[in-house]
Chain A
């Protein structure tokens, strides 16, 4: 099987379909004789099973989704998890904007790219991996980025996570760990075994107690970008 590096882990898998092959290709590693941390090998007949439940899924999409789920479940065993968020990197630090689909995560982070240009890039527009290494929480681009193919093979320490909601007025405030936990839980994989769920909850609590967490209401404007940037980066004036 081919070897890849996702989220600082050696992953072994053999995708067959174009979307995953293409999105995973930047993560291929030439290393040999390394033991994979994770092997992604879906059960036989999984594509037919998925398409039976969701006939609009092409085999290509079924592969992409199934491999993504298997990777993110395996990640739970390595102090990591998936967060449904759009992650933007600015000046080497990652800012994650999380919300249910359709809230405007990508719209908000694309505002950051417009505002900050070459100082910034989208790390993963929909499903970044976050993972503790040596006590620091990092965000990673992965091949798995939802409907978007906006993701980069890169890593950055997490400066903050913001739970986004759409509103008429722009405001942002800090959340306590207890306030943020239900929001974070809603934006990750919940259908887990007991063992996976235990790892997930432990990582989730570690994220909530070590990372600046925010709640923001915003419209689509430059003012909203300045507001989240100023608050989350700790910069007083832009």
Chain B
């Protein structure tokens, strides 16, 4: 999965601010505020990544334990998926089956 095309991110202190541009405005007309972890995950998801990749990169970047990383990733994914900002991929379907 990855973030859909048509969003821009700018930072103010440790807060990320995301708005849609171009055609993306047709589907999502709002602003997303991200904390530091959110910015990190957003930038990872500009390229294709799975939840497990995100969690492990969060662990190595911030030194949080695996459980916390997974919880943070899931909360983030719920937020961006709920807003319809994720382009889902079927590439690594077996990762989902294992759950």
Contacts and interface: CB of A to CB of B under 8 A. Distances in A.
Given A177-B12, A181-B31, A193 B19 contact: no
A196 B21 contact: yes
Contact of B10 (A178, A193, A205): A205
B60 to A, nearest CB: 28
Contacts of A186: 31
Interface string A201-220: 11011001100000000000
Interface in B1-26: 6, 8, 10, 12-13, 15, 17, 19-22, 25
Interface of B: 6, 8, 10, 12-13, 15, 17, 19-22, 25, 29-31, 33
A191 interface: yes
* Shortest Cβ-Cβ A-B pairs, 10 listed: A197-B21, A194-B21, A185-B31, A182-B31, A205-B12, A201-B10, A178-B15, A191-B25, A194-B22, A198-B8
Given A185-B19, A194-B21, A178 B8 contact: no
Interface in A109-163: none
Given A185-B19, A201-B17, A190 B8 contact: no
Most central of A181, A182, A197 by chain B CB within 10 Å: A197
A202 B21 contact: no
Nearest to B18: A201
A192 interface: yes
Secondary structure class of chain A's binding surface, majority of residues: helix
A202 B12 CA distance: 10
A39 B3 CA distance: 36
12 contacts: A177-B15, A181-B33, A185-B19, A190-B25, A193-B22, A194-B6, A196-B21, A197-B21, A197-B22, A201-B10, A204-B17, A209-B12
Contacts of B17: 181, 201, 204-205
A197 B19 contact: yes
Interface residues on A, range: 20 to 34
B63 to A, nearest CB: 26
A177 B15 CA distance: 10
A202 B9 CA distance: 10
B21 A182 contact: no
B21 to A, nearest CB: 3
Contact of A192 (B15, B21, B30, B33): B21
A173 B84 CA distance: 33
Contact of B21 (A177, A198, A205, A208): A198
Interface in A157-187: 177-178, 181-182, 185-186
Contacts of B6: 194
Contacts of B10: 198, 201-202, 205
A173 to B, nearest CB: 19
B89 to A, nearest CB: 23
Nearest to B21: A197
Contacts of B19: 185, 190, 197, 200-201
A104 B78 CA distance: 37
